Amino acid sequence: MPKISLKKINSLKKNKIGISALTSYDASFAKLADNCGIDIILVGDSLGMVIQGHDTTVPVTVDDVIYHTRNVSRGLHRAFLVADMPFMTYSDPNQALENAVRLMQEGGAMMIKLEGGEDQISIVEHLARHDIAVCAHLGLKPQSVHKIGGFRVQGREPKEAQKMIDNAKALQDAGADLVLLECVPNELGKSIKESLEVPVIGIGAGPFVDGQILVLYDILDITQGSTPKFVKNFMIDHDSPINAVKAYVDAVKTGKYPAAEHCFS
Ligand code: KIV
């Protein structure tokens, strides 16, 4: 199967075919997801919680993400590989450029993701000017968990929702190639998707965006304890991880996931 490029991701959006994405942190799971036809693999800083056992993503370092991205890249033949910029590794344009280059050169990332708002516009501009593909993460931004007071739905107030729409447009205009939207009401997901030309990938952002991403360990029922409302356990109806991931890809492509019970109003 041909490799997934940014051009292909844009054509999936144009043809209204759901863009399927998952996190992965190692070569074996990356290979499994790749063999199931996943479009995007994200080496998320969620690795701080999923792999390292921290309560938040705050302790994750660039070296951690490089290590996992390098391992994941060895497992991939087809999927587009995105790596997260950890907390405080993009606080000024030059620091951001230096760390993005490391994620690409040492880790093999094709795109970097950063948690963005108006303060990140100049950073996205700087990276885009250097031809680095950028995904801007809006909505619930886990790196700000201590400031926002927990992992909770964002953008329920009209003023906050409007600000998110404006920031999404500004980040796109600054050169972001993708937007990832976490934990927002369906209607806000829809408005942001309709305001942008670049693809919008959601996690708990409802069914109206261009694609979906989930944490692989959540869909395979590996995560212990409670999981967020937007998570669907694909092991319930499937007898193996490979069949569960295939079902996830199919459910995203055909719009069967997310269902109403996975969404916020
Ligand atoms: O780090 C992560 O896993 C993420 C999720 C939103 C997919 O950013």
The residue type of 80 is F
Is residue 187 part of the annotated active site? The answer reads: no
Residues 82-101: tens digit of each pLDDT: 999 999 999 999 999 999 99
Contact between 81 and 69 (Cβ < 8 Å): yes
The yes-or-no verdict on residue 2 having pLDDT over 80 is: no
pLDDT at 5: 98
Question: What are the residue ranges of helices labelled H in 15-61?
Answer: 27-35, 47-50
Site to substitute for ligand 1 among 140, 180, 181, most atoms within 8 A of C-beta: 180
Q: Is residue 46 lining ligand 1, measured as CB closer than 6 Å? A: yes
Residues 204-260: tens digit of each pLDDT: 999 999 999 999 999 999 999 999 999 999 999 999 999 999 999 999 999 999 999
The yes-or-no verdict on residue 151 having pLDDT over 80 is: yes
Cα–Cα dist 35/1, whole Å: 10
**CA 181 to chain centroid:** 8
Residue 234: count of CB within 10 angstroms of its CB:
22
Q: Is residue 44 lining ligand 1, measured as CB closer than 6 Å? A: yes
Residues 95-134: tens digit of each pLDDT: 999 999 999 999 999 999 999 899 999 999 999 999 999 9
Alpha-carbon torsion 250, 255, 261, 262, what sign?
positive
Catalytic pick among 98, 157, 182, 197: 182
Which two structure tokens, joined as six digits, stand for 170?
């500004």
The yes-or-no verdict on residue 1 having pLDDT over 80 is: no
* Residue having the nearest C-alpha atom to atom 5 of ligand 1: 44
Contact between 31 and 75 (Cβ < 8 Å): yes
